[in-house]
Amino acid sequence: MLDRNNSSVVTKSLNITKKMVLGTAQFGMDYGIVNINGKPKKKEAFDILDLAWKKGIRRFDSAPGYGSEALLGEFIAANSIQDEAIVLTKIPSLYGVSDFQTDIITNLESSLKNLGCPVDVLFFHNPEDSDLLLKDPQFFEDLMRDYQVSTLGVSVYEPQEVENVSGCEFELAFQFPFNVLDKRFEQVSMPQRKRFARSVFLQGLLASTNDLRLDAPVELLNLQKEYHDRLAKHNLESVAFAVSFVANNDAVDYFLIGVDSEKQLQDILNLNLYNQKDIAIFDGLPLNTNKQWIDPKNWSLK
């Protein structure tokens, strides 16, 4: 149970907790190229959520496909923070669905039941489905009103997918991959206060020199080694560097962080961040790895 009188929320990490979104994919599935231990147990997940809340993190990212909405909802209910937690979730892929309206409503009602609180941002998990915003805006206007959804959004993979919905009448939020190696969205125009960076650690590859999963392609092993060798050469700590890059970037309003343990989160919250001058060092150090490996869609993990 949360201690609402705990004054330890004022820490040196306060400046990043306001921008951090705690990802919950790890709570419901074996997520991450460096994750060889699987998802944390329920108590471990609650410990992570408890620490996040005490330290001032108020945003949580989920999705029906992660299998973690119910767990997040249980934590929210146990601590009576339904009116304070800011939850992002997603519309599952509508590929092959004949009646998209019914499917969206059914999934949203399920999410609301699992979470037990309003949804702040409802993203399309599959960007190809976002053309429905252009085809049937009235449905989505009614959806937002009837289910108290604050903002609609799209989880994108390519800059062109942002452009594809530029004619939408809603001011959309976007969740996009963004990290030291993947800066494709840095110059893409998106509404301010609605830009959510994900893949900050590239599923852990940019944060850890630990062994990757057994099904990791050899190209990722090479990328991991080259990247961390470059950091070591300039005495740059990998986790602090990855977080500093997104936290200090004007193209990002919020960034998602996923962790496997309470200690991992505490370590991130205790980071001393690098300044822009330190970050700029890496810009002059291009990697030799094929750019296709910065996109997890190309990894073909089992």
Cβ atoms of 14 and 271 within 8 Å: the answer is: no
* Whole-number pLDDT of residue 110: 98
CA dist 238 and 264 (Å) reads 13
Confidence of residue 5 (pLDDT cuts 50, 70, 90): very low
* Encoded tokens for 300: 């073909």
How many Cα atoms are found within 13 Å in the side-chain-facing hemisphere of 191?
16
Q: Which of 35, 66, 24, 28 is nearest to 216 (CA)?
A: 35
Say whether pLDDT at 9 is over 50: no
Please state the pTM of the whole predicted model. 0.90
Say whether pLDDT at 156 is over 60: yes
Say whether pLDDT at 301 is over 90: no
**3-state SS, residue 176:** strand
Confidence of residue 289 (pLDDT cuts 50, 70, 90): low
Enumerate residues 6+ apart whose C-beta is below 8 A from 248. Answer: 273, 274, 275, 276, 279
Mean pLDDT to the nearest integer, 242-269: 94
128-142 pLDDT, tens digit each: 999 999 999 999 999
CA dist 51 and 55 (Å) reads 6
Domains and CATH numbers, the chain: 11-213+238-274 (3.20.20.100)
**Phi, psi (degrees; rounded to nearest 5) at 184:** -60, -25
Report long-range pairs for 153-157 (Cβ below 8 Å, ≥24 apart).
Answer: 153/88, 153/121, 153/122, 153/123, 153/124, 153/194, 153/196, 154/123, 154/124, 154/127, 154/130, 155/90, 155/123, 155/124, 155/125, 155/126, 155/127, 155/198, 156/127, 157/127, 157/295, 157/297
Enumerate residues 6+ apart whose C-beta is below 8 A from 92. Answer: 63, 64, 65, 107, 125, 126
* Encoded tokens for 97: 């669905």
Q: How many residues does the chain have?
A: 302
| Among the ranges given (8-22, 76-90, 239-253), the one the predictor scored with the smallest mean pLDDT | 8-22
